[in-house]
Structure 1
């Protein structure tokens, strides 16, 4: 082999080696990352912090069904009752932030639990908000048969309470429950002395009023209205600034001179901290479409439940307002749960 031939072979060999090294180092030669399935690609779990049958459960199941249809995936309802919603909230806070576990938050889980419990095993502010969902305004009622002498509206109730301090009792679903705090708000707004009697559930409190054990109760429209229609309860006001289509004849607290006495059972959907903004946006848009469905609008109206403004800004503003309101009420009432 001539010198020229050997040099040509060496050049070809070196060039081929350099080319192979360049190709092996090229990104184009790297294995592509596996494509992520479009969200959602499996059922979504919606954790409800109370047992089946209550107003929160009813609203959650209705909205969950139609949210699932918009997402083209099943929304599985998971009731986790206990500790004012703290058990459910803690479970969701510790779940994987993958968009497949959501919490139907309440005023308890998102606002007041942090004021009622010294130690709370989750941070309400750490959840990623999807949106507000619904609000069921509360109705204040008294016994419809024996009643309270001369009491037919809020002004009459206030007059009687002030003339008989400490002699009226109100029943609630338990210490720290929304109905309990609602009457504490009423007492604060009217400067009246009314005694709280806690029960194990809202149904027990309603039965206690009808049976004469206590004189006052406040709860959501679907809880109070059936007993009012039978004459066993007398509705005095809806604790809101506008009338409700389910009880259009019932004056509001604002109409009756108590604009600060407003409360309802409101719900919001939130996700664990770290959930992808893209997934939150998909959920938000699907929820907004679900709440506009005629079937949803009609059923909510029938129950006296009002859809709320969707989106993160509305949620944050609402929670800020609720925090300011209930911190004053809880401080005045001295309510603690531990």
Structure 2
């Protein structure tokens, strides 16, 4: 019995020593961070900023790899097929981690098998209008939409995109009927609102705010619980009696299936230090981007809440992409 006990202790000790050795030597080369959208968008901007500071904490370069298409499914598939050695990461989104599995009957990757590292950031969405006379706030828009069912339309980055699902959430929360007009990108949807082709658009604060400051779009609300320092005068949806209408472009750091816990711990610790850097916090705040709580437990709890929320919206809207 004693011999068996000694053998078990020896095996556990060797395993722990190996884990510590891996953690101490990792990372020994640059890390690739896959971004599931093209350059210039809010996910890309957040990924590049965080990637730079994360690389400095890890003392290795974080190389950005933009893989756009299929709502992030192409990027997530690339991650799922990568070696589980901690040198390939994905800046996951609500699409890659939660929504795609509800929209596609066949998905080339399984979000449940990806190794979570941590939440990273969130950019709350804002709702803006153009050409809706007399509407000055969110409740005014609800009243107008109810008085003119089907008369208003909204633009999005395409079927199943976050802006599309965001307005479906608004419709569900407010009991209104608004017509969806899909475009190929968020930029096209915003341009359609600017030209008056659609009356409503929602997107991340940095995308909409410049047009609002120029007087070309009218901001009605920020879809969050708290006001944002980048637009402190803008009332929240909670303040305007639509607390269920909350949406933002959130991101999470995700690794391939089977990535060892030692690498995840190193990444988590480095990310926590990076997200606490005053320079990074200040730069994100300038763009209205909020740091999120780091760590695997926080990510898992958030993903569960998002799954419940968006499954209800998608079921009500009947949205499917295949």
- Hey, what's the Cα distance between the residues in 1 that align with 2:52 and 2:193? 35
- Aligned counterparts, 1:196-235, within 5 A: 196-235=180-219
TM-score (norm 1): 0.88
Structure 1 partner of 2:111: 124
Residues 148-201 of structure 1: per-residue CA shift (max 9 Å, x gap): 122110110000000100110000011100000000000000110000000111
Residue in 2 aligned with 1:65? 52
Quote the offset at 1:273 in angstroms. 1.1
Q: Name which of 25, 29, 53 aligns with 1:38.
A: 25
Structure 1 match to 2:129? 142
Instruction: Select the residue among 158, 173, 176 that pairs with 2:142.
Output: 158
The answer to whether the aligner puts 1:259 opposite 2:218 as a matched pair is no
Name 2:3's counterpart in structure 1. none
Cα distance, 1:240 vs structure 2: 0.4
Give distance in 2, aligned partners of 1:77 and 1:242: 31
Q: Which ranges of structure 2 fall in alignment gaps of 5 or more residues? A: 1-17
Aligned with residue 278 of structure 1, among 240, 254, 262: 262
- Quote the Cα distance in structure 1 between the aligned partners of 2:110 and 2:187: 30
Rounded Cα–Cα distance in structure 2 between residues aligned with 1:41 and 1:305: 31
2:156 is aligned, of 152, 169, 172, to 172
Q: Matches of 2:96 and 2:194 in 1, distance apart?
A: 30
Superposed CA deviations along residues 86-128 of structure 1, whole A, max 9, x for unmatched, are 0000010110000000010000000000000000011101111
Pairing 1:46-85 to 2, within 5 Å after superposition: 46-85=33-72
Q: Secondary structure of 1:321's partner?
A: helix
Q: Deviations over 1:313-335 (max 9, x none)?
A: 10000000000000000000010
Report what 1:195 is aligned to: 179
Shift of 1:210: 1.2
SS at match of 1:243: coil
For 1:328, the equivalent position in structure 2 comes to 312
SS of the equivalent of 1:213 reads coil
Deviation per CA, 1:201-259, whole angstroms, max 9, x where unpaired?
11111111111111000000111000000000000000001000000000000000000
2:80 counterpart residue number: 93
Note the residue ranges of structure 1 that are not aligned, 5 or more in a row.
1-32
* In 2: Cα distance, 1:284 partner to 1:77 partner: 19
In structure 2, C-alpha distance between the alignment counterparts of 1:275 and 1:205, rounded to whole Å: 38
Q: CA RMSD in A?
A: 1.1
**CA–CA distance in structure 2, aligned partners of residues 51 and 210 of structure 1:** 22
Deviations 1:26-72 (A, max 9, x none): xxxxxxx9x86810000000000000000000000000000000000
Counterpart of 1:22 in structure 2 is none
SS in 1 for 2:154: strand
Whole-angstrom CA distance in 1 between matches of 2:55 and 2:212:
35
Report the 3-state secondary structure (helix = DSSP H, G, I; strand = E; otherwise coil) of the residue aligned with 1:265: strand
> What TM-score does the superposition give when structure 2 sets the normalisation length?
0.93
- The 2-side partners of 1:119 and 1:203 are apart by 28
1:281 to partner: Cα distance: 0.2
